[in-house]
Structure 1
Amino acid sequence: MVDLLPVTLALLSGLAFVYLLLKHFAKEGCPSKLPHGNMGWPICGETLGFLKSHKSNSMGTFLEEHCSRYGKVFKSHLFGSPTIVSCDHELNMFILQNEGKLFPVDYPKPMHQILGKFSLLLVSGDLHKKLRNTIISFIRASKSEPKFLHCVENLSLSTIESWGGRKEVAFYKEAKRFTLNAMLKHLLNIDPEEPLASKILEEFETYIKGFVSLPLRIPGTTCFKAIKARVRLTSIFKEILAERLKGDAGPAEGADCLNVILSKQNLSDEERVSIVMDLLFGGYETTAKLISLIVYFLGQAPYSFEKLKEEHQAVRKIKKDGEPLNLEDYMKMEFTNNVIYEAMRYGNVVKFLHRKALQDVKFKDFVIPSGWKVLPVLSSSHFDPTLHENPQEFNPWRWNGNATSKKVLPFGGGPRLCPGADVAKVEISFFLHHLVLNYRWKTKADECPLALPYVEFTRGLLLEIEPTEKSFGRNPL
């Protein structure tokens, strides 16, 4: 007698799958005039394909194939929600400019627990304006403050001098060490040698990894560990805040960020901690990634390297031996600024943003439905041949004039334009000044920046370094 059990089980499994599939598409509602696309599998949709790693100086096969098949705007199912993905520069600009009206932020729920409810990435309205204004007031003061500029230059020199006698450097680790030390000193007046600096670095590394993981709050997952790391970091920063309040120095004294934050009486302790976390995240992680991208691209662009070196030689030539850099020197670094922007365009520290449609929005011939997730892919316009000549080429000269700046979104846009961009550029410029005057380097053939989706150098960006014939020593600061 034929055993019908396996056949019955297979039939039931098939019917259950079809039922879930039909239920999945019925749930989306699929209003008319939607962009073309594929909703993928039930529950997970196309999330795994969307998050598949690829070179950060490319769109990746998922977006390339979908744009080729469906157009620059397509529907999908990502991060547990029906989604409109935009690789259209015009639509992305529209989304960013209408962030407070039509497209609020919409990060997955577990991300809220990683970021905290007062993160600048999540809050909106008057609260967003209050927290952002506090950060901007600190950033503006920092950019021209001699103490901050000297701190950045000293840390740049100490980092580079530590390579003496070495033939190889794991640069990504060095860049993170430099940016973290700069931010800890400037934000909280913590010296790099203090044990607390190492503890914060360890916890922050765990915290950061949550941003590039699947948003699953399950014990043992990267996301879960990141949430716990944030709890511990919050405890550390609250303790520092409490100690500062009990100290002899009043909130208005000193030059670090915490004293500036404490002087703002309209902030709660949770809001103050969140500001520190946001500044540390932007000033440490994203700045380190950007410096690493610049060094990687310069290692493969000799003409850009020589032009950059000539600019910094000219800056150093008019200064006395050992004289520190100042804001006027920074303002002369025009090609350096081009290099920074081109690395952001070509390397894409931030690939996409999480948004949500508050109402049905008509764009061209289709409708973005109310309640759907919207993902503006910022990197898409950076590789658009209709916007840029030879977009797959690292070319800092394309930034001469204002034409390119209108076609890219390296620091985001709209009311959420990165508030710390100016300070990041100062840090990078000072570091590059001493780097290009002291060293040449080569990148490994099999090394490349990967979008995971945030940029990572999985091999650490190992460089072969060689000191230049003439280098400039430490400034007597």
Structure 2
Amino acid sequence: MEEYLMKVVLALALVTASAIVVSMTKKKKKKKKKNLPPGSLGFPVIGQTLGVVRAWRANRLEQWILQRIARYGPVSKLSLFCTPTVLVAGPAANKFMLFSGALRVMQPESLQRIIGKRSIIDLQGDDHRRVRGALVEFLKPDMLKLYVGRIDAQVRQHLQDKWHGCTTVTVLPLMKRLTFDIISDLLFGLEAGVVRDALAHDFELIVESVFAIPVNLPFTTFRRSLKASQRARPLLEGMMHDKKAKLRQGNTSPNNDLLTRLLSLTDDHGQQLLTDEEILDNGMLAMLAGFDATAVLMTFIVRQIGSDPAILAPMVQEHEEIARNKADGEPLTWEDLSKMKFTWRVAQETLRLVPPSFGIIRMALEDIDFDGYCIPKGWQVCCASSVTHMDPSIFHEPAKFDPSRFENQNHSSAPIPACSYIPFGSGPRICPAVEFTRIETLVTIHHLVRNFTWKLCCKENTFARDPLPSPLNGLPIELQHNPTSL
């Protein structure tokens, strides 16, 4: 009996051992199937975060990424901000990031806590399509044609108040204030005055903490920004309720501004299409996005013009020809903007060399195969999208400023490959304000080159990212006034 029991125990032990061996073999095989990208996750917790932050602050992040690509290839693993991450680069990577449904948009927690949880950055699926569709209703060209004159008036007033009579100005802060004034008018119908000035100050504070550590402690940048948001939101909320009442009474047009337009949109049942929270959160986002990005673009165009006579001459010729066909003081029109082709090519080339955003960050919603490697579920995916802007196989002599790259792209013998130039993104999450940015930029540059010439006070052609590109000292320039009239 004992011998029988011993045989049974031995048999069970052998079966158990066999099962363990089979299970371990399967696990090993399963692990082998997860072909992770090359690279290292670095030190525990911090990973490569310190190296990335140092490179970012020194404006060497692109070199840091290119060195990593040279070592590991266009797909590699690392750890950023306590999260395992896959770094990807190249046109195929850009397309993957912009169009894959297996990736979720990520944004800094600080931004979500400041502007709210119902902006198009956070929304997914049907909610994203619904809210984005509502925003596009206001930002599509047919609507924006109606606002060229109002933008023209804001630019003229700004130059009259802030530039005329000055011998030196600092461009970036002035451009930020100009874009804020335009947005305040067209998005919220907010007129110049004390309220707009206070709101502008609050949004300056909000911008500072977009990528700040979201720790609400005294004397921190995040605390200042959070308090600024807590002042701005009730103000915008009050304006929203006021416009809603005017719409009910028939005392306003839905086309007056973005806020009124969003409030006027209804679904199939006659109910307001967006919730008040969605309107407010996306209004905050629109104000924040427009406050900085377009101002940075126009500032770097001013810098290029001030150091490049070969670019300035054809630009002046283009705008003088437009002005010759208009009466003094007559505002610009949509048709005038369509004639500013060279100026917009200069803007496109500026965006190639100094893109507002360095890259895209997403999170894998499932295990994803990309370029022969597995990106595990829950990992971050970081795409250095602007690396393609400096790829010599895509852009000949990429360091050279050459607006002709964007001339006749539809008929060019060597068109720019898809997803290689994406300063505004692409696909379902392309920036909805591309046309709005174009109008602001063209109108502003038209009046600048006709009314002023300038010299750069700082000859160094450098800039830092904080988090958007910023030229040295905000780009101070010496002004000379041309004998033309606003």
CA distance in 2, matches of 1:58, 1:317: 45
Given candidates 420, 423, 426, the residue that maps to 2:439 is 426
* 1:172-199 deviations in Å (ceiling 9; x for gaps): 011011110111011122122x111111
CA distance in 2, matches of 1:396, 1:59: 25
Contact 2:110 2:212 in 1 (8 A): no
CA distance in 1, matches of 2:144, 2:262: 17
Aligned to 2:377: 370
Contact 1:447 1:459 in 2 (8 A): no
Contact 1:85 1:376 in 2 (8 A): yes
Aligned to 1:8: none
CA distance in 2, matches of 1:123, 1:231: 22
CA distance in 1, matches of 2:352, 2:53: 20
Matched, 1:256 2:238: no
CA distance in 1, matches of 2:250, 2:119: 28
Given candidates 262, 268, 278, the residue that maps to 2:275 is 268
Aligned to 1:390: 397
* Alignment gaps of 5+ in structure 2: 1-30, 266-271, 410-414
CA distance in 2, matches of 1:138, 1:109: 28
CA distance in 1, matches of 2:70, 2:261: 50
Aligned to 1:417: 430
- Residue 31 of structure 1: CA displacement? 7.8
Contact 1:77 1:83 in 2 (8 A): yes
- Residue 333 of structure 1: CA displacement? 1.1
CA distance in 2, matches of 1:421, 1:412: 10
TM-score, normalised to structure 1's length? 0.86
Aligned to 2:3: none
Alpha-carbon spacing, 1:411–1:254, altered in 2? closer, same or farther (3 Å):
closer
Aligned to 2:136: 136
Alpha-carbon spacing, 1:252–1:280, altered in 2? closer, same or farther (3 Å):
same
Given candidates 66, 73, 76, the residue that maps to 1:74 is 76
Aligned to 1:328: 335
Alpha-carbon spacing, 1:254–1:104, altered in 2? closer, same or farther (3 Å):
closer
Alpha-carbon spacing, 1:151–1:324, altered in 2? closer, same or farther (3 Å):
same
Out of 44-53 and 171-180, give the one that drifted further: 44-53
Q: Secondary structure at the match of 1:280?
A: helix
Given candidates 84, 87, 90, the residue that maps to 1:85 is 87
Question: If you compute each CA radius of gyration, which structure gives the higher value, 1 or 2?
Answer: 2
- Residue 213 of structure 1: CA displacement? 2.7
Q: Secondary structure at the match of 1:203?
A: helix
Aligned to 2:186: 186
Q: Secondary structure at the match of 2:343?
A: helix
Q: Secondary structure at the match of 2:346?
A: helix
Contact 2:59 2:463 in 1 (8 A): yes
Aligned to 2:473: 459
Question: How many residue pairs were aligned?
Answer: 439
Aligned to 1:113: 113
- Residue 44 of structure 1: CA displacement? 2.4
Alpha-carbon spacing, 1:31–1:352, altered in 2? closer, same or farther (3 Å):
farther
Q: Secondary structure at the match of 2:43?
A: coil
Aligned to 2:18: none
Q: Which amino acid aligns with 1:303?
A: A
- Residue 117 of structure 1: CA displacement? 0.6
Q: Which amino acid aligns with 1:438?
A: N
- Residue 327 of structure 1: CA displacement? 0.4
Aligned to 1:450: 464
CA distance in 2, matches of 1:159, 1:455: 23
Aligned to 2:236: 237
* 1:36-64 deviations in Å (ceiling 9; x for gaps): 22323322222232233659997533213
CA distance in 1, matches of 2:452, 2:227: 40
Matched, 1:347 2:354: yes
Contact 2:337 2:442 in 1 (8 A): yes
C-alpha RMSD of matched pairs (Å): 2.3
CA distance in 2, matches of 1:52, 1:221: 20
Q: Percent identity?
A: 28
- Residue 149 of structure 1: CA displacement? 1.4
Contact 2:104 2:363 in 1 (8 A): yes
Alignment of structure 1 residues 241-320 onto 2, 5 Å: 241-247=240-246, 249-250=250-251, 252-253=253-254, 255-264=256-265, 265-320=272-327
CA distance in 2, matches of 1:268, 1:385: 47
Alpha-carbon spacing, 1:302–1:106, altered in 2? closer, same or farther (3 Å):
same
Q: Secondary structure at the match of 2:79?
A: strand
- Residue 298 of structure 1: CA displacement? 2.4
* Alignment gaps of 5+ in structure 1: 1-28
Q: Secondary structure at the match of 1:412?
A: coil
Aligned to 1:404: 416
Out of 122-131 and 295-304, give the one that drifted further: 295-304
Out of 130-139 and 241-250, give the one that drifted further: 241-250
Aligned to 1:26: none
Alignment of structure 1 residues 94-173 onto 2, 5 Å: 94-98=96-100, 101-140=101-140, 141-145=142-146, 148-162=147-161, 163-173=163-173
* 1:378-412 deviations in Å (ceiling 9; x for gaps): 21111111111111112111111322373211101
Q: Which amino acid aligns with 2:179?
A: T
Aligned to 2:226: 227
Out of 359-368 and 421-430, give the one that drifted further: 359-368
Contact 1:450 1:457 in 2 (8 A): yes
